[in-house]
Amino acid sequence: MRKKKVTNNNQSIFILPAVILLFLSIILRLPGDNSFYSLETSNFTAQNIPEDTTSVPLLLWETFRNLFWIYVKGYLLPVYLLLMPGIFLLSLSLSGKKLQELFTEKINEKKFLLLLFIISFLLILGGHFFIIGHPHVVGDEFCYIFQSDLLASGKLYGSSPLYPDSFHSWSIINDGRWYSKTTTGWPFLLAFGRIIRMDFIINPFFSALSLVILYLLGKSLLGKTGGILAVFFALSSPLFFLLGGTYFPHNTAALLCLFFTWTLIKSEDEKSGWFYPVAGGITAGFLPHIRPGDGLVMFPGNIPLIIYLFIKSEKKKIFLSKMFIIFLLFLAGAVLLLMINKIQNGDLFLFGYEKYDPEDKWGFGVSGHTPLKGLWNSVFSFMRNSFWTVPFIFIFTLLSFSRKEMRLSLLQVPAILFIVSYFGFYSTGAFEIGSRYYLPLFMLILVPAAGGLLWMKERWGKTGIPGSDMFIPSLMTGTIIFMVFGVYPPMFSTVNLQYKERGRAAGWISNYNTEGTSLIFLRVHTDKGNMFFTRNLWQYEKQKNIMVLYLTPEENKKVIENFPQRKIYMTDYDRVSRKLIITENFDNEKKSKNYLLAAYNYIEFDYDKAILAVEEALKIKPDNPEALNLLAMLYDAKKEYHKAIPIYEKLSEITPYRDNALYQLGLNLGKMGKIREAIETLGKVSNSTDKTLAGQAQKWIEYYERK
């Protein structure tokens, strides 16, 4: 029997089910759980698993099950069960319309790239002002601004204030020299914006430029169609355009990764001259100044590509000369980075982030990091970024291997190394758009993903089934409708709300309307920590408001005497409104409460000074249970359990503190190897009215009994 050819009239019947499937995919996505839109990824990182967790694998498994169901319901089902079939049906219904050329080959490339840059720049800038908000609300963002302000003045570091403890801030080194813990590459670029007082345009500018390079990279391997598809994937993904509206460096790091790869491919052509190897070498050398880890991934990660290009090159000596130039410039960049380390940190191989926090390193064993925790962080980041990017990227990337195009496949080697590198890193990005560390990886796989999509279209065309000619326009149309109506509305509102809350907190004190110049002491401890608010730049004397930590009365007095012309304020808790307020009624008496409040601020950067402050509080009120409890917790933090135990024993006789003190006492006994005593002590908590505490105590009893 002869097969019936599908006619245009028959094809039109597919339009209605296509629209229905697309509509259902949006409906299924919209009311989903917004856990993956939470910017506080520190809540999910394995690094922050509570120390009193009896079974880390069990906790991670339970967390995975909960989040995986959200992933299935909010991503896998709407995308692969509804959206993808809807796109196929839409392609069938539109087959023969011959619109694909309109999207691809028949474009004026120069006008297209100019328009692409302008539109993407404005889009990202709009996201900065209307979704993210202008204040740099994350501690790491402020530290980039702090260093850029120094570099704009021609300095690698400033001098610490006379009383540095009062000026401690997150991610800022303050030990006689005052500078950011970050490398200087990204602050150097931000400095140009600081000079013209428009630092907010720097990230959108380089983000928009990265799309131009992404297109050129895609075009060099797949033609104009491939370049356009790669750009479409990026520009439609909130991971890219929202992160570009922050002060984080990942978009610029992605730009350098793409540009370096593109220059390698262009260097294969012996007629291309020496521009590409020189530009590529400078890029490779500068990337570690932006993010050292990204630089260490990209250069070795592209060695397989370099070897392949060498084999394929017709004039191998010229190609080797070009690669040698790239290597020399990369080496020069690395040497410059080490010299900056020497100037700032006093050691060629000591980075600022390690000096600020010696545990901020790569590898297992650091901060309790294990392969299991690395696996969890990687799986979580993969699921999370599925919600922050356009659908199908992963599956299209895998399909790209079917093209058997070696250069396309080798682009994925650095991407794999990115996965390996973050598998060995102990943390996620804490407060972030998507999983921000993975943005360069995401941008690198977009060209292979475009290749996978083109392979899928070609395979469809060979089957003789109509629709392949409209597959790409249909996919772009269906995807953008899904994103605009199913993803952007809940995501943008959720992100905006979280940034507004952080923005109000970040700017509340620094922008407070005081009478004349002021000195504001951060006395009351907040859930964010007061070092979140001490956002003073190195030329702090020029600021209207100077924010300092409230420390011991003796230290506070010295600071006040150093600023005789400034009016003194402090933060306090208003019991009527139940809000934090700024008051002129400055309390600097030598009383137990004030030493205790000083200790809470010292905790953020110096346990030993916090202990001294608590001891001063106890001299005034020897039986103050709050001070005793804080002292025991500080000894716990220092792992001096033998000092904490007698304090917990004393607190166990005070009713409000009894159960928690017994619980901590039991844990400390267990850590010291006194298992039987630990079981006996924890058993006293089993009848606690705090059912959560009682349940946790029972888990520890069972754990110790197994030992």
- pLDDT, one tens digit per residue, over 603-618 is 999 999 999 999 999 9
Give a yes or no: residue 430 inside a domain: yes
Residue 400 identity (one-letter amino acid) = S
Q: Within 13 Å and on the Cβ side, how many CA atoms surround 355?
A: 22
Residue 442 identity (one-letter amino acid) = F
Q: Please, which pLDDT band fits residue 512 given cuts at 50, 70 and 90?
A: confident
Which is more confident, 695 or 105?
695
Give a yes or no: residue 324 inside a domain: yes
Work out whether the CA dihedral 568, 572, 576, 579 comes out positive or negative.
positive
Which is more confident, 530 or 81?
81
Q: Please, which pLDDT band fits residue 106 given cuts at 50, 70 and 90?
A: low
Per-residue pLDDT tens for 260-319? 999 999 998 877 789 999 999 999 999 999 999 999 999 999 999 999 999 998 889 999
- CB neighbours of residue 561 within 10 Å: 9
Q: Given this model, what pLDDT does residue 52 score?
A: 65
C-alpha 96, offset from chain centre: 45
Kindly state the tokens that stand for 670.
Answer: 């267990």
Place of tokens 């969890």: 376
Q: Please, which pLDDT band fits residue 529 given cuts at 50, 70 and 90?
A: confident
From the list 337, 344, 339, the residue with the least C-alpha distance to 296 is 337
Mean pLDDT of the 181-199 span: 95
C-alpha 689, offset from chain centre: 39
pLDDT higher than 90, residue 480: yes
Give a yes or no: residue 180 inside a domain: no
Q: Which residues pair with 388 in a beta bridge?
A: none
For 188-209, give one letter per residue: b (16+ CB within 10 A) or e.
Answer: bbbbbbbeeeebbebbbbbbbb
Q: Measured between alpha carbons, how far is 28 from 31 in angstroms, rounded to an integer?
A: 7
Residue 1: partners with Cβ closer than 8 Å, 6 or more residues away = none
Residue 276 identity (one-letter amino acid) = Y
Residue 491 identity (one-letter amino acid) = M
β-strands 158-159, 177-180: how paired?
antiparallel
Q: What is the dihedral of CA 398, 440, 485, 114, to 10 degrees?
A: -110
Torsions phi, psi of 342, nearest 5?
A: -65, -45
Per-residue pLDDT tens for 119-173? 999 999 999 999 998 777 788 899 999 999 999 999 999 999 999 999 999 999 9
Per-residue pLDDT tens for 232-257? 999 999 999 999 999 999 999 999 99
From the list 196, 202, 183, 195, the residue with the least C-alpha distance to 152 is 195
- CB neighbours of residue 118 within 10 Å: 11
Per-residue pLDDT tens for 29-73? 987 788 899 998 877 777 677 666 777 888 889 889 999 999 999
402 and 257 in one domain?
Answer: yes
Question: Can you list the alpha helix ranges (DSSP code H) found in 153-201?
Answer: 185-195
Torsions phi, psi of 589, nearest 5?
A: -70, 150
Q: Measured between alpha carbons, how far is 649 from 296 in angstroms, rounded to an integer?
A: 51
Q: Please, which pLDDT band fits residue 1 given cuts at 50, 70 and 90?
A: very low
Q: Please, which pLDDT band fits residue 2 given cuts at 50, 70 and 90?
A: very low
* Boundary of a domain, candidates 450, 471, 498: 498
Give a yes or no: residue 255 inside a domain: yes
Q: Given this model, what pLDDT does residue 472 score?
A: 94
631 and 494 in one domain?
Answer: no
C-alpha 254, offset from chain centre: 14
Q: Measured between alpha carbons, how far is 244 from 206 in angstroms, rounded to an integer?
A: 8
β-strands 518-522, 567-574: how paired?
parallel
Question: Can you list the alpha helix ranges (DSSP code H) found in 400-541?
Answer: 406-410, 412-423, 439-444, 446-463, 471-482, 488-510
Kindly state the tokens that stand for 553.
Answer: 């009365």
Q: Which residues pair with 172 in a beta bridge?
A: 180
* Boundary of a domain, candidates 478, 498, 518: 498
Mean pLDDT of the 314-338 span: 95
pLDDT-above-70 percentage for the chain: 96
For 390-415, give one letter per residue: b (16+ CB within 10 A) or e.
Answer: bbbbeebbebbeebebebbbbbbbbb
Give a yes or no: residue 666 inside a domain: yes
Give a yes or no: residue 610 inside a domain: no
pLDDT higher than 70, residue 668: yes
Give a yes or no: residue 485 inside a domain: yes
End-to-end CA gap in the chain: 74
Per-residue pLDDT tens for 534-546? 999 999 999 999 9
C-alpha 589, offset from chain centre: 42
* Boundary of a domain, candidates 498, 516, 536: 498
Specify burial of residue 34 (Cβ count, 10 A radius: 0-12, 13-18, 19+): middle
Kindly state the tokens that stand for 502.
Answer: 């952080």
Give a yes or no: residue 443 inside a domain: yes
Kindly state the tokens that stand for 106.
Answer: 């028949």
Q: What is the DSSP letter of 468?
A: G
Q: Given this model, what pLDDT does residue 368 score?
A: 81
Give the residue numbers spanning the domain of 631. Answer: 627-706
Mean pLDDT of all residues in the chain? Answer: 91
493 and 635 in one domain?
Answer: no
Per-residue pLDDT tens for 197-217? 999 999 999 999 999 999 999
Which is more confident, 369 or 382?
382
Residue 220 identity (one-letter amino acid) = S
Q: Given this model, what pLDDT does residue 175 score?
A: 93
Q: Given this model, what pLDDT does residue 3 score?
A: 45
Please answer whether residues 638 and 562 qualify as being in contact, where contact means their C-beta atoms are separated by less than 8 angstroms: no
Please answer whether residues 570 and 582 qualify as being in contact, where contact means their C-beta atoms are separated by less than 8 angstroms: yes
From the list 453, 458, 447, 455, the residue with the least C-alpha distance to 220 is 447
β-strands 545-549, 518-522: how paired?
parallel
Structural domains in the chain (count): 2
- CB neighbours of residue 164 within 10 Å: 15
Question: Can you list the alpha helix ranges (DSSP code H) found in 291-315?
Answer: 292-301, 303-312
Question: Can you list the alpha helix ranges (DSSP code H) found in 130-201?
Answer: 139-152, 185-195
Q: Given this model, what pLDDT does residue 9 score?
A: 57
Q: Which of 335-349, 420-434, 641-655 has the lowest mean pLDDT?
A: 420-434
Q: Measured between alpha carbons, how far is 372 from 378 in angstroms, rounded to an integer?
A: 10
Please answer whether residues 549 and 522 qualify as being in contact, where contact means their C-beta atoms are separated by less than 8 angstroms: yes
Please answer whether residues 194 and 418 qualify as being in contact, where contact means their C-beta atoms are separated by less than 8 angstroms: no
Kindly state the tokens that stand for 217.
Answer: 């990279």
- CATH number for the domain harbouring residue 688: 1.25.40.10
Q: Measured between alpha carbons, how far is 161 from 488 in angstroms, rounded to an integer?
A: 45
Please answer whether residues 665 and 649 qualify as being in contact, where contact means their C-beta atoms are separated by less than 8 angstroms: yes
